[in-house]
């Protein structure tokens, strides 16, 4: 990937991250407590893994898929009940 294209992609990532934060700020007050706890569990695990500079993104994604599956199932079950 050439440098100009990479800079544009990095800018797009930053913009999307900002949109994500703004969207979640708007949702936080209306998220039920049990869902908020599950969201925090997944988010905090993801951030912890991202802070480990030794891990590649592929490894982080694989670990998160395995670790978040139980939390996601709990959230889906809560929505049914």
The 10s digit of each residue's pLDDT in 4-13 is 999 999 999 9
The 10s digit of each residue's pLDDT in 51-78 is 999 999 999 999 999 988 888 888 888 8
> Are the C-beta atoms of residues 47 and 62 closer than 8 Å to each other?
no
What's the Rg (C-alpha) of the chain? 16
CA distance 21 to 34: 20
The 10s digit of each residue's pLDDT in 10-50 is 999 999 999 999 999 999 999 999 989 999 999 999 999 99
pLDDT classification of 81: cutoffs 50, 70, 90: low
Pinpoint the alpha helices (H) of the chain.
Answer: 3-27, 33-51, 57-80
């Amino acid at each position: 990937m050439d440098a100009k294209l990479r800079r544009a992609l990095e800018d797009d990532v930053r913009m999307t991250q900002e949109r994500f934060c703004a969207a979640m700020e708007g949702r936080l007050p209306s998220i039920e407590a049990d869902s908020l706890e599950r969201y925090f569990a997944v988010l905090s695990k993801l951030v912890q893994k991202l802070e480990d500079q030794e891990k590649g993104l592929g490894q982080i994604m694989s670990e998160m898929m395995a670790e978040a599956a139980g939390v996601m199932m709990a959230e889906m079950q809560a929505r049914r009940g």
